[in-house]
Structure 1
Amino acid sequence: MIKFNTKHSGLFAAGVVFGTAGIKVLSSKDAKKLYTNCTAAVLRAKDCVMKTVSKVQENAEDIYAEAKQINEDRAAAEEAFEDAAEEETVEETTEETVETAEEE
């Protein structure tokens, strides 16, 4: 014989009633209006975030371009300095060679 537990049956029935009532509440006009308003707020927030992201990307591109230009200018200045240093070394070596040749 199967034992029938009224406590568990009562809990199951209450769950079905609350579930059915919950579905009706969630599908009501007021709930749909709430969902619509929440969705609209999320879309507005998305637009705001996307505008901010676009500004950050533009600034990052500007910063990257300026940093790249600074490094190129610096490299050019270092190259010019190295070229000047080499020219001085060549001139000094040439002068020493001329002086040594005159002494002999």
Structure 2
Amino acid sequence: MFSDSLMKKIGLFAGGVLFGTAGVKILSSKDAKKVYTTCTAAALRAKDCVMKTVTNVQENAEDILAEAQQINEERAAVEEAAVQEAEEDGAASSDNGKM
């Protein structure tokens, strides 16, 4: 009456429907809800940990930036003083030559 391949297809379809129905019931059970809740709580804890680390890294980066700016300001002041000193030496030597 029915060929073997048609019976296999019907059997696979019926098995899929049963497996799908059982899967939905399992996924919506109280035990599954507990698992989902536990996993969500763990994800939130991980998020908190990551955010603390990010905050720490940002604070360190701000400190590094402030120190680097201070170093550059000090270096610029030293270079400016050296330029002024060189200009004064040059002006003094040209004044000595005029006398």
Deviates more, 1:3-12 or 1:24-33: 3-12
TM-score (norm 1): 0.89
Q: Aligned residue pairs: how many?
A: 96
Q: Which runs of 5+ in 2 are unaligned?
A: none
Please give the root-mean-square deviation of Cα atoms over the aligned residues, in Å: 1.2
Runs of 4 or more above 4 Å deviation: none
TM-score (norm 2): 0.93
Q: Which structure has the larger Rg over C-alpha atoms? A: 1
Q: Which runs of 5+ in 1 are unaligned?
A: 99-104
| 1:35-60 deviations in Å (ceiling 9; x for gaps) | 00000000000000001100100110
**Hey, what's the Cα distance between the residues in 2 that align with 1:27 and 1:96?**
99
Structure-to-structure mapping, 1:60-75, within 5 angstroms: 60-75=61-76
Q: Percent identity?
A: 65
**Hey, what's the Cα distance between the residues in 1 that align with 2:98 and 2:35?**
93
Match of 1:48 in 2: 49
**Hey, what's the Cα distance between the residues in 2 that align with 1:27 and 1:16?**
17
1:34 counterpart letter in structure 2: V
| 1:9-55 deviations in Å (ceiling 9; x for gaps) | 11011001001101111111111000000000000000000011001
Structure-to-structure mapping, 1:1-104, within 5 angstroms: 5-98=6-99
